[in-house]
Amino acid sequence: MKKKKSESLKLYNVNPDTNAYIVEVSLDDYSELFNGWDASPLRRRDLEPELMDYLEQASTEIPLSENLELCFYMPKDKRDLEKEFKSITSIMNNFKVLMSVIYKQLSKNYRRLLIYVVVSIIFLSAAYLLRNETDFSLLISIMIEGLFIGGWFLLWEAFSLFFFDTHEINIRKKLFNRLLHSDIYFKDTKE
């Protein structure tokens, strides 16, 4: 596994001044940064989905302990400082929106987790209390078994939600937080 990691890290240059890995993207025009279907003003436009996928993939290949820089190469004759400033602002806004969505997902997962655990405890407690009763019919017996099954199922759902779903969301939060705090700049296209 470590061999693969080091091979993928070789794909990225390192800035000798900052020791940050550089994720490089070549562009022919500023419009390539943004989704062509989004008619919003530049500072609010969504990033091109393929670019977002590439940035997320690059961020996963580089260990979280390392810093990143995003470098966009543009032909010298097409560079425009005002468009670059607006593009950087828009990229940062995209990362902020994604962070907001991630925080909402985490909040929703924690609420669901709490509900599952509370209802599970209620079901299991009721089932154990009812099981100790000496006089019950077949219908009560079936209901008790249903409470046991429902309680354990909800407890498993809470476990799964906490250890699997929430864990993946937390990793995405770390990746996008790093992208949000990375240096973003434009340079002339390499010759």
Nearest to 40 by CA among 90, 82, 89, 88: 90
* DSSP for residue 77: G
Task: Say which amino acid occupies 49.
Answer: P
64: closest CA among 182, 175, 176, 184?
Answer: 175
Average pLDDT taken over every residue of the chain: 87
Two tokens, residue 18: 């900052």
* Placement of tokens 């700049």 in the chain: 185
Q: What pLDDT sits at residue 42?
A: 52
pTM: 0.77
Confidence of residue 180 (pLDDT cuts 50, 70, 90): very high
pLDDT band at 1 (very low <50, low <70, confident <90, very high): very low
- The pLDDT of residue 2 is above 50: no
pLDDT tier for residue 33 given thresholds of 50, 70 and 90: confident
**Cβ neighbours of residue 103 closer than 8 Å, sequence gap 6 or more:** 173
126-146: average pLDDT: 81
The mean per-residue pLDDT over the stretch 96-103 comes to 93
On the question of pLDDT at 60 being above 80, the answer is: yes
What end-to-end distance do the CA atoms of the chain give, in Å?
35
Q: For the segment 146-162, what is each residue's pLDDT rounded down to a tens digit?
A: 999 999 999 999 999 99
